[in-house]
Structure 1
Amino acid sequence: MVPTKADKEEAARIGRVPGTSVWDVDETTVGQALAIREHDRLERSDGATRPAEDDTPPHEPWAFAIGVAAARRIGAQHGREVDVVTDPRADLTLPGAHGHALIEGLARPAGHSRQAQTALLKDLVEAMSRHD
């Protein structure tokens, strides 16, 4: 649930907070989000079957949902500014691309302990529900 190196590089390039891709469940179905992820994976892979940074074996995809207010509240409880911002994928014409968003504030800031980071992520995960 933390921004990847590529997420951080892109954020620095365009002058915004690094975010992790999420999808608005009212705008994008799980199937559409998975199709977009697969499109992105293939586009970044330079002919390889998987991107170099992702050497995990294939697995059954699961989707989870959390409300924006809940994410913000949990962030505030941990002294962190967690937010969800719209980030429509204007570069894609695939169905559901307009429902792309970013959850920001998940990267561990300098000076924050790993224990504090783990506690934040744990509370966020516990507030999520499975979404099919």
Structure 2
Amino acid sequence: MAPDVQLEKEQRMGFFQTILVTLVFLPLLMVASHNFLQNFTAAVPRHWCYIPARDNATTEVTGDLLKIYVPMDGNQEPDRCLQFSTPQGQLLAPNGTSTNSTEPCLDGWAYDRSVFNSTIITEVQRGA
């Protein structure tokens, strides 16, 4: 057998190598799909500081009452990272202003569930 023919035969994949590559490729394809799925399941919905309603930590302050506890950002949305140090009851009045004494979120976050009912982010927060 000529040296060129022998070299060409040795460089081709055999049956065992083909099976091995196929068996390794199939699980890797599933892992890639799982990693791509994170783009959709790990979405971070709108959120703001969680404020327990009075002494009941299982319900949260929502709606207009949220304005008393969480400052609004430039788009008139609840700020994501700050809450008022003391409740600002005067903000319920039409022309009420706050004292701007704020602090970081102390009790975690509350999430807007109008777009995403549940994501990895909201589930991890709930379990913490």
Asked if these proteins are the same fold (TM beyond 0.5), I'd say: no
Structure with the larger RCO, 1 or 2 (CA within 8 Å, 6+ apart): 1
Rg larger in structure: 2
Normalized against structure 1, the TM-score is what? 0.21
